[in-house]
Amino acid sequence: MTAVIEARGLRKEFTVRVKAGRLRREKRVVAAVDGVDLRVERGEMLGYIGPNGAGKSTTLKMLTGILTPSAGEARVCGLVPVPQRTRLARRIGVVFGQRSQLWWDLPLRDSFDLLRHIYRAPAADHATRLRRCRGLLDLDAFMDTPVRQLSLGQRMRGELTAALLHGPEVLFLDEPTIGLDVVSKQAVRSFLADLGAGGDVTLVLTTHDLADIERLCRRLVVIDHGRVVHDGSIEALHARYGSRRRVVVDLDEPVAEPPEGAAVEADGRRLVFTVEGPAAPVIARLAGLPTLRDLTIEEPDIEEVVTRLYLASGPQPHGEPGISPGAP
Ligand SMILES: Nc1ncnc2c1ncn2[C@@H]1O[C@H](COP(=O)(O)OP(=O)(O)OP(=O)(O)O)[C@@H](O)[C@H]1O
């Protein structure tokens, strides 16, 4: 497979002023991204997550040519993002949940038309892509509405369309479901799942909504204090942070003594066990209970695993995370 995104030792420093005493402020250098290595193959759907301030948006900005790295190197579609930004813009699509690439006072239809001219996209390709987005994202009811009158969910569907009309190879999405209601979230997720399933577009997604990740991404890169702390499948994450399944057993009659002796909750007729690793041996033993009515296995909760990971990665040993004294 060919890598569409390659980053080595990617670093971004910002100089900030911090309080140093009652009146004094001194300059500090903050490493927002602190040596990120990343390789993403064509057609992958990558979740890029981390706590607030971890460096996700800064990484995406460097990969899309908005910010110049302080050190390290990156190539996206074989191009160096900042110096080759114009060429790169034709090959990638970007959706930043909080910002818009649409014209506020124009109807959605006109924004799409303008984008066709800006990208000099062939009319037929543009029309085919627009037709597909209109169908999958249900745009028809508000194609003639000025963008400023759209709801957040409608606008996000417009943003996704706008990012895709020139046929990008890589789509960068920064919080694409932020603030959306349940229905719009589902619409956006299934659209992205459909897009990813085609295998032509590579998706890189940052989100705080882990349901986005579970639905869309097989690979997860977790960043904290500017550094990658996990890169692998969601299953690998569960394995590494000791995820436990819950086995819930409902009985016809209460038992005095839980059969396994290790039930975490025993509430009359309901017993709950936590199981690390394969659940089969526990289930086999419980299945023999004469009063067994029902047995369910609850899969580990990704939120819980990720919380554990964030806590484990913790602050760095010296002072504030990622901060070093700058030049005077
Ligand atoms: N222009 C800037 N000037 C100074 N510091 C900045 C700038 N942009 C980002 N930072 C700092 O860099 C760090 C990483 O920010 P970034 O926006 O990349 O985090 P994030 O992981 O996207 O966070 P969030 O989940 O809150 O959006 C933060 O400490 C932030 O305050």
Q: How far is the CA of 131 from the centre of ligand 1 (A)?
A: 37
Report whether residue 49 contacts ligand 1, using a CB cutoff of 6 Å: no
**ipTM associated with this complex:** 0.97
Please write the tens of the pLDDT for every residue from 157-189: 999 999 999 999 999 999 888 888 888 888 889
Could you identify the atom of ligand 1 that is nearest to the CA of residue 59? 18
Within 10 A of 126 (CB to CB), how many other CB atoms are there?
A: 20
Residue nearest to ligand 1 atom 6, measured at CA:
14
Say what the pTM is: 0.82
Q: How far is the CA of 215 from the centre of ligand 1 (A)?
A: 26
Which residue in this structure is represented by tokens 């030792």? 9
Q: How far is the CA of 275 from the centre of ligand 1 (A)?
A: 38
The beta-carbon contacts of 260-267 under 8 Å, at least 24 apart in sequence, are 260/285, 260/286
Q: Which two tokens stand for residue 118?
A: 């800006």
Look at phi and psi of residue 323 and say left if phi exceeds 0, alpha if psi is from -120 to 50, else beta. Answer: beta
Instruction: Look at 49 and 22; give whichever has higher pLDDT.
Output: 49
Predicted local confidence at residue 24, as pLDDT: 85
DSSP codes of every residue in 197-233: HTSSSEEEEE-S-HHHHHHH-SEEEEEETTEEEEEEE
Report whether residue 11 contacts ligand 1, using a CB cutoff of 6 Å: no
Yes or no: say if 197 and 284 are a contact pair by the CB < 8 Å rule.
Answer: no
Q: What number of CA atoms fall less than 13 Å from residue 36's CA on the CB side?
A: 37
Beta bridge partners of 71: 11
Mutate to test the pocket of ligand 1, among 11, 18, 28, 30 (most ligand atoms within 8 A of CB): 30
Yes or no: say if 52 and 34 are a contact pair by the CB < 8 Å rule.
Answer: no
Q: Which two tokens stand for residue 78?
A: 């074989």
Predicted local confidence at residue 86, as pLDDT: 93
Within 10 A of 149 (CB to CB), how many other CB atoms are there?
A: 12
Q: Which two tokens stand for residue 122?
A: 């062939």
Please write the tens of the pLDDT for every residue from 197-210: 888 899 999 988 88
Report whether residue 55 contacts ligand 1, using a CB cutoff of 6 Å: yes
Q: How far is CA 324 from the centre of its chain?
A: 28
The CA–CA distances, whole Å, from 60 to 12, 56, 63, 91 equal: 11, 6, 5, 15
| Closest to 156 in 3D by CA, of 113, 114, 189 | 189
Q: Given a cut of 60, is residue 323 above it in pLDDT?
A: no
Predicted local confidence at residue 322, as pLDDT: 42
| Closest to 271 in 3D by CA, of 304, 242, 305, 289 | 289
Instruction: Return d(Cα 285, Cα 12) in angstroms, integer.
Output: 54
Predicted local confidence at residue 326, as pLDDT: 38
Residue nearest to ligand 1 atom 3, measured at CA:
14
Report whether residue 227 contacts ligand 1, using a CB cutoff of 6 Å: no
> pLDDT averaged over the chain?
86
Yes or no: say if 169 and 91 are a contact pair by the CB < 8 Å rule.
Answer: yes
Predicted local confidence at residue 259, as pLDDT: 64
